[in-house]
């Protein structure tokens, strides 16, 4: 069966520090990968998606970036965090296809920027 792992679960970082959140998927090949952010009282916001190694599409202009160095690994990064980057970050995958298809989420990473 397929599983998705996301870490760290909780992170407290000072403003201006770098960020790296990692996500890996097991039990499937060539998945579509996604990074979402969830703010309190608001719907999930898609940040990045990837349909293959090295292929990243950005949905929201910001100081975050994403990379996909391996087929089943997706990384969310920042060089300098802002207070507004605080939030709950969710990695997700869906089977390869022309559309999103069924989404499966990781456990999330809670980021607090102080």
Partner 1 sequence: KQEVTQIPAALSVPEGENLVLNCSFTDSAIYNLQWFRQDPGKGLTSLLLIQSSQREQTSGRLNASLDKSSGRSTLYIAASQPGDSATYLCAVDSGGYQKVTFGTGTKLQVIP
Q: Which of 19, 75, 106, 113 binds partner 1 (CB under 8 A)?
A: 106
β-bridge partners, 65: 77
Q: How far apart are CA 112 and CA 47, in angstroms?
A: 18
Q: How far apart are CA 23 and CA 13, in angstroms?
A: 19
Contact criterion met (CB below 8 Å) for 38 and 79? no
- Indicate whether 107 belongs to the interface with partner 1 (CB under 8 A): yes
Q: Contact with partner 1 (CB under 8 A): which of 19, 90, 111, 113?
A: 90
Say how far apart CA 91 and CA 16 lie, in whole Å. Answer: 23
Query: What would the x/- binding string for partner 1 be over residues 46 to 85, using CB under 8 A?
Result: x--x-x-----x-x--------------------------
β-bridge mates for residue 71, sequence order: none
Does position 104 bind partner 1 by CB under 8 A?
yes
Stretch that binds partner 1, among 11-19, 39-47, 63-71, 76-84 (CB under 8 A): 39-47
**Contact (CB, 8 A) for 66 and 75:** yes
Contact residues toward partner 1 (CB under 8 A) are: 6, 32, 34, 41-44, 46, 49, 51, 57, 59, 90, 92, 99-108, 110
């Amino acid at each position: 069966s397929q599983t998705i792992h996301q870490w760290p679960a909780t992170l407290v970082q000072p403003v201006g520090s770098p960020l790296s959140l990692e996500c890996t998927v097991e039990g499937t090949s060539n998945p579509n990968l996604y990074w979402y952010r969830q703010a309190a009282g608001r719907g999930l916001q898609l940040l990045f998606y990837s349909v293959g190694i090295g292929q990243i599409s950005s949905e929201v202009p910001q100081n975050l970036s994403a990379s996909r160095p391996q087929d089943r690994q997706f990384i969310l990064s920042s060089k300098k965090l802002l207070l507004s980057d605080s939030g709950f970050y969710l990695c997700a995958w869906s089977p390869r296809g022309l559309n999103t298809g069924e989404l499966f989420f990781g456990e999330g990473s809670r980021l607090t920027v102080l």
